[in-house]
Amino acid sequence: MGELLTKLRNEGSLKLHLSMRDGTFRDLSGNGNHGTPNDGAILGKTRNGIGLKCNGSTSFMNCGNDASLNFTDKITAAAWIKASGRLAGTSGIVVAKDDDIAGRAWTFIVQNNGTMDLFGGGGGGVANSVGAIPYGIWTHVAWVYISATSVAYFINGILDTITAVGIPAMVSTTANVYIGGRSFAGSLLPFHGEIDEAIIANDDLTETEVAQLMAETKPRGM
């Protein structure tokens, strides 16, 4: 574990870290938020090591709803992703605390045009990122939310967009946290591709820290 990840863990702000490098869905944050794959989601060898493979239709990973994942003041979520493709008019969830039983706290998605979007508990979305995620290329993505005042999107450790307009509230719910989709009848919003090094922190990381996080979690072979 790198210097920044160790610092976040020691401070108690690292809430979820699914590295998957050890061939498991074990949470390295110390909170026990281990992943359970749903239909079609597998832990498989990728070009850059081991990661979660999502089929774009029914697969995702469930990380549960432990109290350590229920916070609303400041949030950083990040992952390495490799998008295989998206169906026209659909979006794919990277990470979300959102289901059709407990309701939405927040949902981080990649739109079908490759831009990133964040939806809050009320359903409203923040303005999309300016940059788009490419197909077929490992890309580090992150968003940072600061207490209903601003949201920043990062692509490969570089600030892409920051907005302070129309920021939705992140609500407290008992919804599970999901990687690559969600449990929601008729609207799974499944990601099609590979996801690695998924991280959630109760912290508002700076651009320098996001770049450091990217470096510390870079998949092997890149």
Instruction: Tell me the per-residue pLDDT of 121-178, one tens digit each, with 9 for 90 and over.
Output: 766 677 789 999 998 889 999 999 987 789 999 999 999 999 887 787 788 899 999 9
Domains in the chain (CATH in brackets) are 3-216 (2.60.120.200)
Residue from 44, 112, 99 nearest 69 by CA = 99
Q: How many CA atoms, within 13 angstroms, populate the side-chain half-sphere of residue 4?
A: 17
Name residues of the chain where pLDDT drops below 70: 40-50, 85-90, 122-124, 186, 220-222
| Paired tokens of 74 | 């400041």
- The pTM score is 0.91
C-alpha of 135 from chain center:
17
Query: What are the CA-CA distances from residue 219 to residues 10, 101, 177, 180, 196 (Å)?
Result: 23, 34, 23, 18, 8
Structural element, H or E, at residue 211:
helix 207-216
Rounded to whole angstroms, the Cα distance separating 61 from 38 reads: 6
pLDDT value at position 177? 95
Task: Name the DSSP letter for residue 134.
Answer: P
